[in-house]
Structure 1
């Protein structure tokens, strides 16, 4: 392994180990580093897999989470250049100071991975990589009422709506994301060799170089394409390419769609619920992501009724009252939540 490969692994280990504690400026710095070379993104993605693999963490001598023990690493730790300077003497902003216990974990991780990738036939990464059993996915979630920005291992951007979660499965051949609940917007970094796919129950969206959002709803999935194109493949439907400034909704039976203005209607990304012939049930789900108290319909049969308008997501109670008034309904608080019922 040459010096540049080793430095890439060490830097990736540094970023991966600190990932959950990065501020916005550091996340931008990480995204820039990931975009510089393809091997940067590959090393970062593999080390993130390592961090989710207890067997390898034990092999490189990392202490279990919450432990104060510091067992000796299986492989000798590399000597890190002082104060963030590379071995060539050029100052690098990528290596950051850390506590002795955390640095020991990081050095063990980098040293172990460096030794493993140097083994004949690629060692561990070949036997446990994409050709073997799938690694544990990376998972990201947001809290009720709070959105979350994430930089994905390939440098793509992810914005989670409130009360949303995804499972990220990245391999050398594919990039696949399961939208487990809620909604998310994706700014996809182009990689012709690795398709970028987002899945919900009954539908799969494959990016063709684009910016788009996907909303998982009860029995439905909504796609909005802000730029580029996305192919939507839904159960029982022929694949459909949705271009920029268009939306498509699959409700389990058919695909409906239309156009929208991304500048005027960014929807949940700017705190608004933009309803255009929207089903009441879908609106209740979306408002519920911003309410600390569950929101429900008093009569489930009302869920298919539609309405149009623009309502604040960050004021869910007020918006619920305004929407309810369109149907002669009003919010009523009960022990288990707020119900929209007949006035």
Structure 2
């Protein structure tokens, strides 16, 4: 290995140091190559996150003999994708020694771990940096993410968000399903979650938002959340309280987080829940669409605890409370009157 190439067998930290050193000068093709490498394993993404954060620490770089005042380009990594060619790079400045990257990788390994997915890391130089980045889960699948600020995101099944983080704001749009947010406090950058029904701004907190067709539900597990609804004065929802926004109507109440585990632990906890809401939530866990045959039945309310990971069985049990039956049709499973 010389000062112009880094071996494909190098450690993830060495390769991450190389990528991070050249990050500002990567071509579009190299950014795609980097994305492939980052998505290749969580270890790669975590190593690159460390390098990007640590290389921004000028005192640390000075201690390692780096020159952060004159950024320099490194030789490109070997192509990671078979039969993909890349135009030769030209350099009009001396290339720094590979030893610098190795020193960074060895000296700073483990100093900081921030494991978020690769596309966060390539966003700064994307063609359209203002485009929100999508995160999604499949039917019956929950997914956890660590956001760039260190906040945690848990997606319910069949859920989708678009995340837009910048130097001045943290914005998440919940487009479908439900999500839990454990927010890292940053008074300079408000953390806002939006649905079509309302905007929710975290005031240093842990909360969940459930986006349904007719309403959005907020549950605050710790801290406080400011709830903004069009045409109404903003209100603050404290810990152990919920708010349901449908149109411009807002209802609120208290709940016990210890007994209300809900979708985060495979349960549908219903307390005077409309039947329509329940079917939408169960449908996130069913490979076959679940529907109500008569829309007028959607407003019926019920209480009880039902398994989310057995959606068809739970649908039948809930239907039995109202004398309804499950009927299989070509386009899905319907809850209908006998």
- For normalisation by structure 2, the TM-score amounts to 0.73
Structure 1 segment 1-343 matched on structure 2, within 5 A: 10=20, 18-23=37-42, 68-73=84-89, 80-81=98-99, 85-87=102-104, 90=107, 92-93=109-110, 135-343=130-338
Secondary structure of 1:340 counterpart: strand
Distance between the aligned counterparts of 1:80 and 1:237, measured in 2?
A: 60
- Checking the alignment, whether the CA contact within 8 Å between 2:205 and 2:221 is kept in structure 1 is yes
Which has the larger Rg? Answer: 2
Counterparts of 1:277 and 1:255, CA distance in 2 = 16
Per the alignment, residue 70 of structure 2 pairs with none
Between the aligned partners of 1:298 and 1:319, the Cα distance in structure 2 is 17
Instruction: Using the TM superposition, give the Cα deviation of residue 260 of structure 1 relative to its aligned residue in structure 2, in angstroms.
Output: 1.3
Structure with the higher helix share, 1 or 2? 1
Unaligned 5+ runs, structure 1: 1-5, 41-59, 96-105, 114-123
Give CA deviations for 1:240-287 in whole Å, capped at 9, x if unaligned: 101111110001131111111212212100000011111110100000
Quick one: distance in 2 between partners of 1:67 and 1:216?
Answer: 44
Alignment TM-score, normalising by the size of structure 1: 0.72
Call closer, same or farther: CA 1:193–1:316 in 2, change over 3 Å: same
Check whether the contact 2:37–2:80 (CA below 8 A) recurs between aligned residues: no
Q: Is the 8 A contact 2:17 2:102 kept in 1?
A: no
Give unpaired runs (5+ residues) of structure 2: 1-15, 24-30, 58-75, 113-118
Within 1, Cα distance between the matches of 2:224 and 2:22?
31
Q: How far did 1:219 drift?
A: 2.1
Q: Whole-Å Cα distance in 1 between the matches of residues 146 and 48 of structure 2?
A: 7
* Deviation readout 1:11-51 (Å, 9 max, x if unpaired): 8969976554444x888x679959x88x69xxxxxxxxxxx
- Pairs aligned (count): 287
CA positional deviation for 1:72: 3.0
Alpha-carbon RMSD: 4.0
Secondary structure of the corresponding residue to residue 103 of structure 2? coil
